Structure 1
């Protein structure tokens, strides 16, 4: 498993509040999904190369939300780069998505 991207954002809210929101409709673990409420991790993966992980961590200003993208291809681990056009612009999309997620987590219900 090779880490390709990691983006983080600080949610200015207590860990308990962020955890409750993150897991509100997370469902349960399954064949392509891990839901670990105790550890504060949700992971999802495909059949070929992709594994995404969202995790929560303590931060002095609230809660650190971390999103990681891993290449889990066992063979041809170079192929995701070609299939995803060398990931050009991918980090910018992840960072924009993280900013939006932080905004949503900070928005009162």
Structure 2
């Protein structure tokens, strides 16, 4: 498993409040999803290369939300770069998505 991207931001709300909101619609662990309420982690992955992971951590101003994207391909681990156009603009989209998620969790 190779880390490709990591973005993070502070949710300005109590950690337990954020954890409750984050896990409200998370469902349960399954064949392509890990839901670990105790550790504050939700991970989801596909059959080929993608694994996304959200985790919550204590922060002085509330809760730190970290989103990581991993390449989990076992063979041809270079192929996701081609399939995703070298990930051009990918980080910007992740950061925008994280800002939107933080705003949602703070409301």
**Which TM-score tier does this pair reach, normalised by the shorter chain?**
over 0.9
Residue 70 of structure 1 deviates from its aligned partner by: 0.1
Post-superposition Cα deviations, 1:11-66, rounded to whole Å, max 9, x if no partner, equal 00011000000000100000000000000000000000000000000011100000
Provide the TM-score with structure 2 as the length reference. 0.99
Q: State whether structure 2 residue 79 is matched by structure 1 residue 79.
A: yes
Task: Count matched residues.
Answer: 107
Aligned residue number for residue 25 of structure 1:
25
CA RMSD of aligned residues (A): 0.4
Q: Which runs of 4+ in 1 moved over 6 A?
A: none
User: Within 5 Å, which residues of 2 pair with 1:54-73?
Assistant: 54-73=54-73
Cα distance between partner residues in 1 of 2:46 and 2:105: 26
Q: Secondary structure at the match of 2:73?
A: coil
Measure how far apart 1:85 and its partner are. 0.1
Distance (Å, rounded) in 1 between the aligned partners of 2:32 and 2:101:
22
Q: TM-score, normalised by structure 1?
A: 0.97
Structure 2 CA distance for aligned equivalents of residues 4 and 58 of structure 1 = 24
